[in-house]
Structure 1
Amino acid sequence: MQEAGIKGLVSYPPPPVERERPLVMDNPAWAKPFEVFASLLGTPGANEADPAKLLALIVPLIFGYMFGDVGHGLLLAAAGWYFHKRWPALGVLFACGISATFFGFVFGSVFGNEHLLTPLWVNPVKEPLPVLMVPLAGGAVLLLLGMLMNAVEAWWAGRFRSWFLCDAPVVLMYLSIIALFFNSSALLVFVLALCWYMLGHLLVQEENRLRNLMLSLGGLVEMLFQLSVNTVSFIRVGAFALAHAGLSLAFTIMAESITNIFVSVFILFLGNAIVILLEGLVVSIQTTRLVLFEFFIRFLQAEGRTLRPLKAPEHAFLKRRKE
């Protein structure tokens, strides 16, 4: 202010107690682009986890699984690397392209051609069932991770007792529902967790305990149903992997069935362009949806306030030059 020729006094009164202090996300360069996902909801609060570092692993895995192709992945990675300096958020595209390239080797696909590489795992078109089941297990792990992050946030906020009594049994019930598909004795674990949940709500509530318990049981039914639906929704990751492989294969077969080399090359070029643009857009939307509505809702309220620094006053010398 002195350099700008402004005379005055600066005081720092205590901040209003009703206002959230402004926050700045502090992430390494490799995780910085993934802050864009949390920013779609707002800013994580002071007692909330910043998920950017986790998303640097989760988002490329989901995207790459749905878009597994060596050629397509390398093109996306190249585009993300070229444009990320101008638009830093496109660093996400670079990471997703590298992941798509890796899954291209896993599925044995290069620009939709399945004869150039031997799959490290399975061919999605020939063996669709494993491709559908793996995302189902991955979705369950991701939901559990979100619930555990909620536990950490409860510890930070000083409400871990409430979480342990009311939310921890929900995690155990969810695990027992999954275990029921493999062992019927998990039903006993579910019943014990239900008793834990009911006792916890009775201990937490101070008034109208019976009424509040009934309301809590209704909320529990909705929560378990939502968890089950969210888990099943991860099958779409495998479904889009099949759709990507099938669409790429369709254009490859069309090109191979034409004897004219120029027309065949044109169909291959056009088909791959359509797959990259159309499938890339759809897969990006689905990845964002899974992160926002299946993962974030477990722990992220995004009620924080982003720091927006004031602009420095213009120097008097520069002001005179402009005049």
Structure 2
Amino acid sequence: MLLPAEMAKINILLHKRDSEKLVKALHESGLMEIKRVSNKELWEAKSHPDAGVLASYELRLSRIIEILKNYSPKKKGFKLGKKIEKKRIKERSLKEKIRDAEKILNELEERVLENEKRINEIEEKIESLKDKEEKLRYLLPFNINLEWLGKSKYVIIKFGISTDLTALQNRDFVFYHRKIGKKKENLWVVLIVAHVSQEEELRKLRNFEEIQIEGKGNVKEALKKVKEEIKILKEEKEKLRKELAHLYKEKKLELFAIREEIQIEKERKDIFRYFGETNYTFLIEGWCLAKNKEKLKKLVEKITNGSCHVEIKTAKRNPDMPPVHLENPNWAKPFETFLELFALPKYNEINPTIFLGISFIIFFAFMLGDAGYGLVIFLLSLFAYIKFKESEFIRRWAFLGIWLGLGNIITGFLFNSFFGDFIPRFIYGDENKMLYHAKIFGIELPIDAIHKPILILSIALLLGLAHLNLGFILGAIQNWKRGHKKEIIKEQIPWFMLEIGGGMLIGEAILELWSLNVQLKIIAMIFTAIGLIALFKNNGPLGFFELTGFLGDWLSYARLLALGLATAGMALAFNVVADLLPDIIPYVGIILMPLLLIIAHFANLLIQSLGAAIHALRLQYVEFFNRFYEGGGKKFMPFRIRRKYTEEIR
């Protein structure tokens, strides 16, 4: 748990006749990550001949599914956590699966593609007709026949859009116009009648864009005909769409199931490219969890009837760099996502997920720090955890939300905040009154964060110092496990000595927290001197920047106070405004007050939660990880079947 799970390197040499059986067994077991063979003495195996065939079927099925999905009605409502229907299937040969794929493609492919093609043609035709309809609407006020437009023996009639009527008025043309567009917009639809001798003059006309319309008959009749044609086309399109939607509803599960089976078979055929090859054998290389190595060996020997050679080597923490698998408790699983956003640990590096998780919860609760907001987060997360039992993803994050909610309830009551001062102001009738009174180990509770910011700052900095030193401790453990004992003396111990010695001296001389006797003062000065000497010896002149960098990182934890005060201050401000509202707006203010409180506090919860989460992560990535963590590991990705729409029965 402190380090990534131990891995074992696997080499399997087997006869080609057993290869397909073994690949299937490895795929179903999910025990091994298969990597490309790097042995130069072997040929690189070619793609399996069936891989291309399966890829073709996958592509055809995916195309049909995507087309049908586009025309299926979109379901409304909350879909997260909904259980996916699975098709129960029997184990079958590859030929039978291809036969089933061919059967459903023969039934649907031509029909679906023809319907989609016709729908696309209809859409293009409708767009063309709509364009014509718009042009006809422009021409409608002039009530002419369409065949009049153009050039005849004596007359030219043109129709279009003009932005400058004066250019037409100064010409020897007969023209009619109607204003279009907005009031301040200079836009007119114009019908020009000119003698054929003026054709060249018409061609040079500026600020006029001619509109071409083909057709015969009166404008009104033509417009009516276009509308009817559009209506017929839309009805045909809707009929085709309903047909495709019905097909999707009827064949959806069957299509997804057969595609998934084809994809699984394709994965099995594609993996052959990773093997090393001789005339009669394949070499398979990869990784498995060390705890599964004997199980994997027995599986291989069983499938091949012992006609194989299996070589297993437990990976060394240094220098081998196998893939990384993190073994964390369930409550810490959501934090693996946060860790992956930064980088997975190397195989010989500390797994910080648990420490990241605990400190994230503490810092988030400290920065949000309101029991009311915590209660909302807790109840919503609890609801999601119970409601969406089918979704492991939602339940995992909801479980985290439960912890974050509980953390905020605790810090909210510690820092005297329940939706700000809502309870003292609106229930107790005295905004200066505390939520409760208690005394634990001589400490008066709650601590009013707004009136005692220095105390909260001190707690924040103490938390920060503990967090940074946890990083140093993990760095020391990491160096010890790597066998770098000298690095502990160089990298971690000087900081411990400097903190102890410097803290003792600063606590006496500057903060006046205690008084040191001569012996303790000498010890403190020795510790400080050793720490500084080691720091400058290891880093040269840059040791000064190491020191200031550490102080900067430590002071960065003051953001715990800043964000906590921002949450409390905003909540307080909303309560004050809501309290004044009935006086500002008589009668109506009483109705608006609860509405304002709900909206304002909900907005504050969202904004401050986002800020708390971002800054809590920032403290992990920059301040904490800087003490010991590099990252750069590659995730363990076993060769495994992943079923979503099928369930195989034997």
90-99 or 279-288: which moved more? Answer: 90-99
SS of 1:307's equivalent in the other structure is: coil
Separation in structure 2 between the aligned mates of residue 9 and residue 81 of structure 1, nearest angstrom: 52
Q: Size of the alignment, in residue pairs?
A: 301
CA separation of 1:126/1:196 partners in 2, compared to 1, >3 Å: closer, same or farther? closer
Separation in structure 2 between the aligned mates of residue 313 and residue 10 of structure 1, nearest angstrom: 25
For 1:232, give the aligned amino acid.
L
Please report the TM-score for the alignment, with normalisation by the length of structure 2. Answer: 0.43
- Gaps in structure 1 of 5+ consecutive residues: 202-212, 319-323
Separation in structure 2 between the aligned mates of residue 109 and residue 295 of structure 1, nearest angstrom: 29
Separation in structure 2 between the aligned mates of residue 75 and residue 236 of structure 1, nearest angstrom: 24
For 2:603, give the aligned amino acid.
I
1:251 counterpart residue number = 574
Say whether the 8 Å CA contact 1:38–1:302 is kept in structure 2.
no
1:107 deviates by: 1.7
1:192 deviates by: 2.5
For 1:229, give the aligned amino acid.
G
31-40 or 173-182: which moved more? Answer: 173-182
Q: Determine which structure has more spread, i.e. the larger CA radius of gyration.
A: 2
CA separation of 1:124/1:165 partners in 2, compared to 1, >3 Å: closer, same or farther? closer
Match of 1:164 among 485, 489, 507: 489
> Is the aligned partner of 1:178 residue 2:497?
no
1:23 deviates by: 1.6
1:55 counterpart residue number = 356
> Is the aligned partner of 1:305 residue 2:634?
yes
1:313 deviates by: 10
Q: Could you tell me the percent identity over the aligned residues? A: 24
Say whether the 8 Å CA contact 2:479–2:488 is kept in structure 1.
yes
> Is the aligned partner of 1:2 residue 2:320?
no
Say whether the 8 Å CA contact 1:37–1:292 is kept in structure 2.
no
Listed one character per residue, the Cα deviations across residues 25-75 of structure 1 (whole Å, up to 9, x for unaligned) are 101111212222221221112222112222332111111111111221011
Listed one character per residue, the Cα deviations across residues 111-170 of structure 1 (whole Å, up to 9, x for unaligned) are 222516226331112222211221011101110110111000000111012321444213
Say whether the 8 Å CA contact 2:414–2:446 is kept in structure 1.
yes
For 1:66, give the aligned amino acid.
M
- Gaps in structure 2 of 5+ consecutive residues: 1-19, 25-92, 94-267, 270-280, 286-310, 386-391, 428-434, 438-444, 510-520, 583-588
1:172 deviates by: 1.7
1:210 counterpart residue number = none
For 1:65, give the aligned amino acid.
F
1:224 deviates by: 1.1
1:272 deviates by: 0.5
Please report the TM-score for the alignment, with normalisation by the length of structure 1. Answer: 0.83
2:545 counterpart residue number = 222
1:221 deviates by: 1.4
Say whether the 8 Å CA contact 1:22–1:305 is kept in structure 2.
yes
1:251 deviates by: 0.4
104-113 or 178-187: which moved more? Answer: 178-187
> Is the aligned partner of 1:108 residue 2:416?
yes
1:194 deviates by: 2.9
Say whether the 8 Å CA contact 1:108–1:114 is kept in structure 2.
no
Say whether the 8 Å CA contact 2:473–2:492 is kept in structure 1.
no
2:449 counterpart residue number = 124
> Is the aligned partner of 1:73 residue 2:402?
no
The answer to which structure, 1 or 2, has the higher relative contact order (CA under 8 A, 6+ apart) is 1
CA separation of 1:189/1:10 partners in 2, compared to 1, >3 Å: closer, same or farther? closer
Listed one character per residue, the Cα deviations across residues 173-203 of structure 1 (whole Å, up to 9, x for unaligned) are 23333333213543442113234456xx5xx
CA separation of 1:96/1:313 partners in 2, compared to 1, >3 Å: closer, same or farther? closer
1:109 deviates by: 1.9
For 2:629, give the aligned amino acid.
L
CA RMSD, 1 decimal = 2.9
1:208 counterpart residue number = none
Say whether the 8 Å CA contact 1:33–1:90 is kept in structure 2.
no
129-138 or 116-125: which moved more? Answer: 116-125
CA separation of 1:51/1:137 partners in 2, compared to 1, >3 Å: closer, same or farther? same
